[in-house]
């Protein structure tokens, strides 16, 4: 059905946390200009796999990644690849909101400043405004841009982190449960943003909401106990899964 190019291609990926084998033999091709949803019970390794894609697991001492992950046909675990540059291309919204102890403005401007995306203050202002608008936070934040980001509510912090990630213009956006603390209205706005991002980028979203996965994604991957059980068109996974475990999870019998 889809004719998009492959953006990320993972082959036989294993992740160990010390002795724990957290990801087992996962191979998956994630398409460009597509929203891919990762679903699965808590602790099955969704966040772990997501963190492999921008090498955030490098920061965990005990974590060890094996296998091959290619971004645009380039092995991201190759010695020549600079993880810093990789992360500028592959942005991430973390499972727990982690705003910096800086003002709302500085939180969003952080990435653009580091990467020199703005030529002057006016441009930077524009980038910040756009990012906040896309993350559906502008109306609440426009009068308090200089207030600390840590002073926002949990859901507002979550959107601030989305705005922060969007502002750096990544090619791939990894979102780990970006709507877990959001009300239906804000959720709808974030889903709208995801839809819009899909026009140009590849988006991977981890979610515990089946409805959300069904609404926003075109592809769905179901993880269970570190294994990728099933991967395919979202419609097919939700209506006609091949694997028993997928079916039980979707219908709410395991989880």
Partner 1 sequence: MQPFWLVTIIVVLALGGFLLGRMRALQSAEGDARVLHSRPNYYGANVFMLTAVPSLIVVALWMVFQPVLIEANVSQMIPDRIVPEGGSKGLVMSDVRRLADGLDVAVAEGALTADQATNIRAEFTNIRERLAEVGVVLGSNVEAEVLTAAQAYRAQSATGALLMAAAGLSLAVAGLGWSLARIGVGFRARNAVETGMLALLILAASIAILTTIGILFSLLFNTIEFFRIYPAADFFFGTTWAPSFSGRGGDSELGVLPLLWGTFYISLVALLVAVPIGLFAAIYLSEYASPTVRSVAKPLIEVLAGIPTIVYGLFALLTVGPLLVGVFGRDGALGVDWMSGGTAVMTAGLVMGIMLIPFVSSLSDDIINAVPQAMRDGSLGLGATHSETIRKVVLPAALPGIVGAILLAASRAIGETMIVVLGAGAAARLDLNPFEAMTTVTAKIVSQLTGDADFSSAVALVAFALGTTLFVVTLGLNVLALYIVRKYREQYE
CB 150 within 8 A of CB 101: yes
DSSP code, position 251? T
> With binding defined as CB under 8 A, does residue 54 bind partner 1?
yes
CB of 195 to partner 1, least distance (A): 23
> With binding defined as CB under 6 A, does residue 45 bind ligand ATP?
yes
Name every residue whose Cβ is closer than 8 Å to that of residue 255 and which is 6 or more positions away in sequence: 41, 42, 249
How far apart, in Å, are the Cα atoms of 148 and each of 100, 103, 136? Answer: 9, 4, 18
Residue selected from 10, 22, 35, 47 as contacting Mg ion according to rule CB under 5 A: 47
Taking the least distance from each CB to Mg ion, the nearer of 62 and 114 is 62
Binding mask 79-108 for Mg ion (x = CB under 5 A): ----------------x-------------
Residue selected from 26, 28, 44, 228 as contacting ligand ATP according to rule CB under 6 A: 44
Number of residues that bind Mg ion (CB under 5 A): 2
Using CA of residue 153, residue 155, residue 160, residue 165, what is the dihedral sign? positive
> With binding defined as CB under 6 A, does residue 48 bind ligand ATP?
yes
CB 206 within 8 A of CB 190: no
DSSP secondary structure, 120-177, as one string: SHHHHHHHHHHHHHHTT-HHHHTT-TTSBGGGS-HHHHHHHHHHHHHHT--SEEEEES
Footprint on this chain of partner 1 (rule: CB under 8 A): 54, 56, 59, 61, 84-89, 91-92, 94, 96, 98-102, 110-111, 114-115, 148, 150, 161, 164-165, 168
Footprint on this chain of ligand ATP (rule: CB under 6 A): 17, 20, 22, 40, 42-48, 60, 62, 95
Footprint on this chain of Mg ion (rule: CB under 5 A): 47, 95
């Amino acid at each position: 059905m889809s004719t998009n190019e492959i953006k990320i291609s993972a082959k036989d990926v294993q992740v160990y946390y010390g002795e724990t084998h957290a990801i087992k033999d996962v191979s998956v091709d994630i398409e460009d200009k597509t929203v891919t949803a990762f679903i699965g019970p808590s602790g099955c390794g969704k966040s772990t796999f997501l963190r492999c894609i921008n090498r955030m697991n490098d920061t965990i001492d005990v974590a060890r990644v094996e296998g091959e992950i290619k971004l645009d046909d380039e092995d991201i675990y190759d010695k020549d690849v600079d993880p810093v540059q990789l992360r500028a291309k592959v942005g991430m919204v973390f499972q727990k909101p982690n705003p910096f102890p800086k003002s709302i403005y500085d939180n969003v401007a952080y990435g653009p400043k580091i990467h020199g995306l703005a030529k002057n203050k006016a441009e930077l202002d524009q980038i910040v405004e756009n990012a906040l608008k896309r993350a559906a936070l502008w109306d609440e934040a426009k009068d308090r841009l200089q207030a600390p980001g840590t002073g926002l509510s949990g859901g507002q912090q979550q959107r601030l982190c989305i705005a922060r990630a969007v502002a750096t213009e990544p090619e791939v956006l990894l979102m780990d449960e970006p709507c877990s603390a959001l009300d239906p209205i804000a959720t709808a706005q974030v889903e709208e943003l995801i839809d819009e991002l899909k026009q140009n980028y590849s988006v991977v979203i981890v979610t515990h909401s089946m409805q959300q996965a069904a609404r926003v994604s075109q592809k769905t991957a179901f993880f269970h106990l570190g294994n990728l059980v099933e991967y395919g068109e979202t419609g097919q996974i939700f209506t006609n899964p091949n694997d028993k475990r997928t079916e039980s999870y979707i219908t709410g019998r395991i989880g």
